[in-house]
Amino acid sequence: MPTLKIRATVSWFLAPLLLISVLPAWGADQSKDEQTIQNATAVLQALLDGKVVPSSLLVTANCILVLPGVKKFAVGVGGTGGRGPMTCRKGQNFTGDEWSAPAMYTIGGASAGLQVGGSSTDVVLLIMSPSAVNKVLQGKVKVGTDLTAAAGPSGATATGSVGGADILSYARTKGLFAGISLNGASLEPDSSADQRLYGKAVGAREIVLDNAVKATPAGQSLVSLLEKLGSMSRIYQFDKAIERLASYRFTPRAQCDCGKRGG
Confidence at residue 119, expressed as pLDDT on a 0 to 100 scale: 64
Residues 6+ apart with CB under 8 A from 29: 196
Contact by Cβ (8 Å): 92, 152: no
Q: What is the 3-state secondary structure (H, E, C) of the chain?
A: CHHHHHHHHHHHHHHHHHHHHHHHHHHCCHHHHHHHHHHHHHHHHHHHHHCCCCHHHHCCCCEEEEEEEEEECCCCCCEEEEEEEEEEECCHHHCCCCECCCEEEEEEEECCCCCCCCCEEEEEEEECCHHHHHHHHHCCEEECCCECEEECCCCCCCCCCCCCCCEEEEEEECCEEEECCCCCEEEEECHHHHHHHHCCCCCHHHHHCCCCCCCCHHHHHHHHHHCHHHHHHHHHHHHHHHHHHHHCCCCCCCCCCCCCCCC
Res 225: pLDDT: 92
Q: What CA–CA distance (Å, rounded) separates 169 from 128? A: 11
More confident residue, 216 or 75: 216
User: Which of 187, 95, 98, 201 lies closest to 138, judged by CA?
Assistant: 187
What is the maximal distance between C-alpha atoms in the chain?
Answer: 133
Query: What is the radius of gyration, based on Cα positions, of the chain?
Result: 25
Q: 122 versus 202: which is more confidently predicted?
A: 202
**pLDDT reading at 66 higher than 90:** yes
CB 182 within 8 A of CB 78: no
The stretch 202-210 carries a mean pLDDT of 96
Type of residue numbered 239 = D
Better-scored residue on pLDDT, 59 or 247: 59
Higher pLDDT, 102 or 74: 102
Task: Read off the pLDDT of residues 82-131 as tens digits, 9 standing for 90 and up.
Answer: 899 999 999 888 988 899 999 999 998 755 455 444 567 889 999 999 99
The reply to whether the predicted model has a pTM over 0.85 is no
Q: Specify the amino acid at residue 12.
A: W
Question: Given a cut of 50, is residue 74 above it in pLDDT?
Answer: no
Higher pLDDT, 245 or 89: 89
% of the chain with per-residue pLDDT over 90: 41
